[in-house]
Amino acid sequence: MPNDEALDYGVLCCRWKYVQYKGVAGKKGYCGTIMKLRQQETDPSKGIADAALVFWWRALEATGKGPSTMPSGISVDLTSETDEEPSTTRLDRSANRCPQSRSKEQAVPKDEQTVLKNALGNKVVRQRKRSRTEASGETEFLPSLTPRKVRNSLMEKFIASSMAVKFEALLAEPRTHFDFLAGSGGATTGAEEAGSVITFLLDKSLNACNSLRLAFPRAHILHKILGHFLSNDRFYEVATAHISYPCKTYSPAHTAEVGTCKYDYENEDTACSVNDIVRKTRAKIVTFEQTDGMVRYEKNKHVWRRLLRDITLAEYSVRWRVMDATEHGNPSTRNRLIILTSCPGHPLPDFPPPRPGPKNTIRKTLDKVGPVRDIEEHMQRHSIKDEPSYDDNLTLAYTIVCKSSKGDLHPSGKRSFNMQELAMLAGFPRRRKFAPACMTALREMFGNAVPVGLAKDLYKMVHKGLDDGEAEMGRWLVGVGALTNEDVKRVMRKKEPEMIDLSMEAEPRWKKKLRATQTTRFDDGEVIMIDDEDVIMIDDEDVIMIDD
């Protein structure tokens, strides 16, 4: 259509909305949103159900071909002035067929011949003849009274049940997670604490992969370069994914021009893999973490714009904000650019609010380290220093970086933090294990780590977004007749954890009797060995039993 005709007769469509929040004193803030319009925001009869888009996206093959059964109303005629019923899909046509009916045909059907193989591998030819009757010049198939009718009925029931199972799976997908460029696993640890099932972890560093194997023994650890991983044809469908692109090139500590350092161009090229990653994972929600220097400094704006373009070209909605990790339990200062994205039709989660109460401090964190004898040998390493002491009842003012810096100083001033202390100041819990490595490699992992508290709070909101998306999917499946309300409720009940109330008032029909069980007390008076498996509570003095 020529430009003039397009201006006069073209249909103007709005599919996206962009929101930019202002910063201090009217300056442009580092928080914004680019979202696809939701169905309730579109004109009547011109929108597509959000859950239908999620179904379309999750079932879409990487080649770009749609699923065999497209949801009803997946395409909308924007030029039509009247509201018309959506065209019937193949699913609707197959559902409307009556299995017992037989259409009349003028042509006489030919006999069918099928070549099969038996269990020994020999060919078996099965021939089936069609019966017919002629009346008034028409040829009509006789209603089949043979076992073939039974087979067809069973097949149709099997197809219907398998489709129902497929639809129910959309409501109860496991919260599987893929962490790209996982490093030491800060984001992965936070996601696991929020309820994600860690499934795949990828990093090119051998030291990082060794630590990830210790921390996540059930996950698949992929020791690969991202480019090599994306070049294969395997698919890794998950519910959520996290991407932490290399940040050194865009960090405030990177004062040289881009391209002067060894890995600058490689890091820029790595940041262009959004489309390939979402094609492999089909994740409903993808999170990103990056240094705030990507949006603060003009020299990095071209990379930031390209990242937004790649995300929106993948049809993902995006929301970003610079967040302070100390507001989410981190004891050291760390400002990170957090990006939330969601696939077509899926609700876009909000950012987590700051945690209430006072911020975490150096003293509180070091008190959790425990005695030195309980720390692994490679985590006890530190360097000797001679600096003035300082107050440790504060948040660490410096960001933990990949190398020894001003922030790497124990409150005594006589040494640096050992590796265990440094890991906990970076946000890792005490229980996290790290594989043996040199101090340089460990510092690099901790300096690049996503604060665990921030990742945990973030993924709590991500799971809330997944819950909202599954609720929308349930309403849509009921609306199109794929499932019933009872089916949806049954699936949702299976997802809920079983809660058992052990209070005395909860079950008055119980006959409760207290008695002491046989115990053995050792000489130190601190350890008690219980010989009865039915103990539910242990006090310092007594052991209390409840019998049915």
Give the pLDDT confidence of 118-151 residue by residue, as tens digits: 444 555 444 554 444 443 443 333 333 334 444 4
Q: What was the pLDDT predicted at 182?
A: 94
Q: What was the pLDDT predicted at 517?
A: 38
**Of 196, 201, 189, 158, which is closest to residue 174 (Cα–Cα)?**
196
> Are 397 and 535 part of one and the same domain?
no
> Are 519 and 462 part of one and the same domain?
no
Look at residues 437, 466, 495 and tell me which one is the last residue of a structural domain. 466
Q: What was the pLDDT predicted at 143?
A: 38
**Of 515, 532, 484, 445, which is closest to residue 208 (Cα–Cα)?**
445
Query: Do the Cβ atoms of 385 and 409 come closer than 8 Å?
Result: yes
**Of 364, 363, 372, 370, which is closest to residue 411 (Cα–Cα)?**
363
Which H, E and C letters describe 493-546, residue by residue? HHHCCCCCCCCCCCCCCCCCCCCCCCEEECCCCCCEEECCCCCCEECCCCEECC
Q: What was the pLDDT predicted at 60?
A: 61
The CA-CA-CA angle for residues 240, 243, 246, to 5°, reads 175
Predicted confidence (pLDDT) per residue in 424-472, tens digit: 999 999 999 999 999 999 998 998 899 999 999 999 999 999 999 999 9
> Are 452 and 511 part of one and the same domain?
no
Longest Cα–Cα distance in the chain: 110
Q: What was the pLDDT predicted at 18?
A: 93
> Are 226 and 367 part of one and the same domain?
yes
Task: Return the CATH number at 419.
Answer: 3.40.50.150
SS3 category, 91: helix
Q: What was the pLDDT predicted at 505?
A: 37
Tell me whether strands 197-203 and 220-223 are parallel, antiparallel or unpaired.
parallel
Q: Is residue 294 part of a domain?
A: yes
Q: Is residue 45 part of a domain?
A: no
**Of 269, 350, 341, 277, which is closest to residue 312 (Cα–Cα)?**
341
> Are 379 and 325 part of one and the same domain?
yes
Q: What was the pLDDT predicted at 106?
A: 43
Q: Is residue 131 part of a domain?
A: no
Q: Reply yes or no on whether 272 is catalytic.
A: no
Q: What was the pLDDT predicted at 382?
A: 93
> Are 257 and 329 part of one and the same domain?
yes
Q: Is residue 144 part of a domain?
A: no
Look at residues 439, 466, 493 and tell me which one is the last residue of a structural domain. 466
> Are 326 and 444 part of one and the same domain?
yes
| Separation between Cα atoms, residue 306 and residue 309, nearest integer Å | 5
- 283 is in which domain, residue-wise? 171-466
Q: Is residue 217 part of a domain?
A: yes
Q: What was the pLDDT predicted at 406?
A: 75
Q: What was the pLDDT predicted at 401?
A: 80
Residue type, 327: E
Q: What was the pLDDT predicted at 21?
A: 84
**Of 81, 86, 24, which is closest to residue 479 (Cα–Cα)?**
86
> Are 253 and 381 part of one and the same domain?
yes
- Show the low-confidence residues of the chain (pLDDT under 70): 1, 25-28, 60-163, 248-270, 404-405, 496-548
Residue type, 295: V
Q: Is residue 499 part of a domain?
A: no
Q: What was the pLDDT predicted at 506?
A: 38
| Separation between Cα atoms, residue 303 and residue 300, nearest integer Å | 6
Query: Do the Cβ atoms of 546 and 513 come closer than 8 Å?
Result: yes
Q: Is residue 383 part of a domain?
A: yes
> Are 509 and 451 part of one and the same domain?
no
> Are 373 and 294 part of one and the same domain?
yes
Number of H helices, E strands in the chain: 16, 17
* Number of domains the chain is built from: 2
Look at residues 466, 488, 517 and tell me which one is the last residue of a structural domain. 466
> Are 415 and 285 part of one and the same domain?
yes
Q: Enter the pTM of the model.
A: 0.73
> Are 457 and 509 part of one and the same domain?
no
If you write DSSP's letter for every residue of 245-309 in order, what string do you get?
---GGGSTT--SPTTSSTTHHHHHHHTT-HHHHHHHH--SEEEEEEETHHHH-GGGHHHHHHHHH
Identified catalytic residue from 31, 209, 247, 343? 247
Q: Is residue 162 part of a domain?
A: no
